[in-house]
Amino acid sequence: MASLMEMKEIFRSADAVCFDVDSTVIREEGIDELAKFCGVGDAVAEMTRRAMGGTVTFKAALTARLGLIRPSYEQVQKLISDNPPQLTPGIRELVSRLHQRGVQVFLVSGGFQSIVEHVALQLNIPTANVFANRLKFYFNGEYAGFDETQPTAESGGKGKVISHLKEQFHFKKVVMIGDGATDMEACPPGDCFIGFGGNVIRKQVKEKAKWYITHFDELLKELEER
């Protein structure tokens, strides 16, 4: 197991950095915001808490939550335009600095493609570097389920994305940064996990992560030291 000093060196020399999105890159949980928007906020927030704590499988939690929300295409678009996701302080500067260093940045999220692509646009991350869940809609715009073939639709999916990236781009060192159990599980195959508690602190992650931060400035400082 790598020491904290070794992990910091991996981060400074990484080829690629993968960020979780909900409660990491953005301040909110996208699915909770969508639930509130659709009038079932409290019930879905409780399900999210259980999913993030790692007590139920991600796919089971996602299926149950979306079954309650049943968002239409119009509702998803209106949520993005009326309540756009709020970027976490420091993320814009950190992503910009990583880009300057030639590091590939990816958004790997259990959230929804349409919302995550909106976030990617603000951070100058190409949409090809977004891995997220896709909602499905009928021709009339009503909810028709989600694409269960996406790796991010199930537990362990973020690790599968990292394995895929390593195979495709031959990355030697990939870092995963996130707030939840599904992010921590992605290392290995990720080479280093950095727990993030700037928006919400998940007890299990804080206790188990060797490197735990509460502000992205901490990572910017690491990059400046080299």
Q: Which CATH architecture has domain 34-82?
A: Orthogonal Bundle (1.10)
Q: Give me the pLDDT at residue 78, please.
A: 92
Alpha-carbon dihedral sign for residues 37, 38, 39, 43? negative
| Given the residues 15, 22, 32, 191, the one annotated as active site | 22
For the domain made up of 4-29+84-224, the CATH class stated in words is: alpha beta
Look up the pTM and report it.
0.88
Residue 179 a catalytic site member: no
User: DSSP character for 83?
Assistant: S
Kindly report, residue by residue over 166-186, the tens digit of the pLDDT: 988 899 898 999 998 888 888
Q: Which of 15, 20, 147, 191 is catalytic?
A: 20
Residues 70-127 pLDDT 10s: 999 999 999 999 988 889 999 999 999 999 989 999 999 988 898 899 999 999 999 9
Residue type, 78: K
22 part of the active site: yes
For the chain, the structural domain boundaries read 4-29+84-224, 34-82
Task: Please tell me if the domain spanning 4-29+84-224 has the same topology as the one spanning 34-82.
Answer: no
The C-alpha angle with vertex 109 and arms to 43 and 98, in degrees rounded to 5, equals 140
